[in-house]
Amino acid sequence: MSDPFVVEVRNLTKVYGDGAAVRALDGATFTIRAGEFVSIVGPSGSGKSTLLNLLGALDRPTSGEVIINGKLLSKVRDLDSFRSKTVGFVFQMHNLIPTLTAQENVEVPMHETVFSGGKRRARAAELLELVGLKGRMRFLPNQMSGGERQRVAMARALVNHPAIVLADEPTGNLDTANTLEIMALMSDLNRSQNTTLIVVTHNHEVARATKRVITLRDGKVQSDVAVKSTFDSDLIDFKNSALGQAILQDDGLPPELREVAPALRRLLEKV
Ligand SMILES: Nc1ncnc2c1ncn2[C@@H]1O[C@H](COP(=O)(O)OP(=O)(O)OP(=O)(O)O)[C@@H](O)[C@H]1O
Ligand SMILES: [Mg+2]
């Protein structure tokens, strides 16, 4: 039996303003099943962030329907509570609280749950380990690299076992090595935890690492195609390159890669 739909979008339309109104979404329709890994691409202004905000119940549509996990969002009374139980968010700017440690940041969304302090700390630790940050639990955001901060944001997004994780340009501020690492993490989460991931991106490499690409244009779904992920073979190419070998042998590394080299080495050792 195939997985149930976790996202159903019907004729979704969002118009901003009234005078010179902008039709940011214009009748978008699609469904996403549990366990899918989907990217949403399209030119600037095509409605990607608008769509993500509607899927995450951060905004209301002008018309049309969004059903998440079988719940029609227009009928949900307490959207805040729905959101914190059902949706995990990762944004381009990681939005970590600068005065809280990695572990405390991951615990934040659990403060609305019934879990005790001990349970919250244990769950945060478990997730930080899952994203490869076991040794960074007590670090503050400014003591971590951009890629590490984004991994903390990913751990925070997963903490309440969300039905969907929505990411808007999660690698937008990262260099190539960190982008690769975040994509490897997302692929791994999708494969090992069956996490349903929906990622908005401008980056073709990122889109190619997902399993399905929905392209928006002028607020409409222009195409919706399954991709055979080339991520593993891309990683093998990288492993065989001079840089990949330098990382594996920890020899002749450019200074800007020193920080991410250990994580990349672990990744390359796996392929
Ligand atoms: N709060 C708002 N008020 C008015 N217009 C808005 C608002 N948010 C977005 N828009 C407009 O809606 C359209 C779609 O914007 P949206 O942010 O969804 O695009 P996007 O595909 O995410 O673009 P980008 O790739 O640049 O992030 C744009 O024309 C934008 O100017
Ligand atoms: Mg956007």
The tens digit of pLDDT for each residue in 4-14 reads 899 999 999 99
* Buried b or exposed e, range 116-137, using 16+ CB within 10 angstroms: eeeebbebbbebbebbbbeebb
Phi, psi (deg, nearest 5) at residue 173? -100, 10
Residue 160 has pLDDT above 60, yes or no: yes
Largest distance between two CA atoms of the chain: 61
Residue 1 above 80 pLDDT?
no
**pLDDT tens across 54-113, in order?**
999 999 999 999 999 999 999 999 999 899 889 999 988 778 999 999 999 999 988 877
Q: From the CB of 266, is ligand 1 less than 6 Å away?
A: no
What six digits make up the tokens of 110?
């659990």
Q: Which ligand is nearest to the CA of 40?
A: 1
Phi and psi at residue 212, to the nearest 5°: -155, 135
DSSP notation for 61-120: -SEEEEEETTEEGGG-S-HHHHHHHHEEEEESS----TTS-HHHHHHGGGGGSS--HHHH
Please tell me the CATH code under which domain 5-229 is placed. 3.40.50.300
Beta bridge partners of 10: 65
Give residue 238's pLDDT: 84
Q: Which has more confidence, 243 or 63?
A: 63
Mean pLDDT over the full length of the chain: 90
| Residue 235 · residue 184 · CB < 8 Å | yes
Q: Which ligand is nearest to the CA of 43?
A: 1
pLDDT, residue 13, reads: 97
Pocket test for ligand 1, best of 14, 25, 48, 62 (most atoms within 8 A of CB): 48
Query: How far is the centre of ligand 1, averaged over its atoms, from the C-alpha of 84 (Å)?
Result: 24
Tens digits of per-residue pLDDT, 204-232?
Answer: 888 988 999 999 999 999 999 998 766 77
Would you tell me how many other CB atoms lie within 10 Å of the CB of residue 239? 18
| pLDDT computed for residue 2 by the predictor | 66
* Mean pLDDT, residues 135-155: 94
Question: What are the extents of the domains in the chain?
Answer: 5-229, 231-271
> 160 CA to middle of ligand 1, Å?
29
- Return the exposure string of 82-108: e unless at least 16 CB atoms fall within 10 Å of the residue's CB, then b: bbbbbbbbbbbebebeeeebbbbbbbe
Beta bridge partners of 141: none
State whether the beta carbon of 47 lies less than 6 angstroms from ligand 1. yes
Provide the 10 A C-beta neighbour count for residue 174. Answer: 22
Residue 48 beta carbon below 6 angstroms from any ligand 1 atom: yes
**Angstrom distance (rounded) from CA 165 to CA 171:** 15
- The proportion of the chain whose per-residue pLDDT surpasses 70, expressed as a percent, equals 98
pLDDT > 90? residue 136: yes
Ligand 1 contact, 43 CB (< 6 A): no
User: Which ligand sits closest to the CA of 25?
Assistant: 1
CA of 234 to the centre of ligand 1 (A): 32
Please compute the mean of the pLDDT values over residues 28-45 and round it to a whole number: 96
Cβ of 16 closer than 6 Å to ligand 1, yes or no, is yes
Lowest mean pLDDT among 115-119, 144-148, 201-205, 259-263: 259-263
Q: Is the pLDDT of residue 233 over 80?
A: no
Q: What is the pLDDT of residue 174?
A: 86
Q: pTM for the whole thing? A: 0.85
pLDDT of res. 97: 94
Q: For 4, which DSSP code?
A: P
Portion of the chain with pLDDT greater than 90, in percent: 59
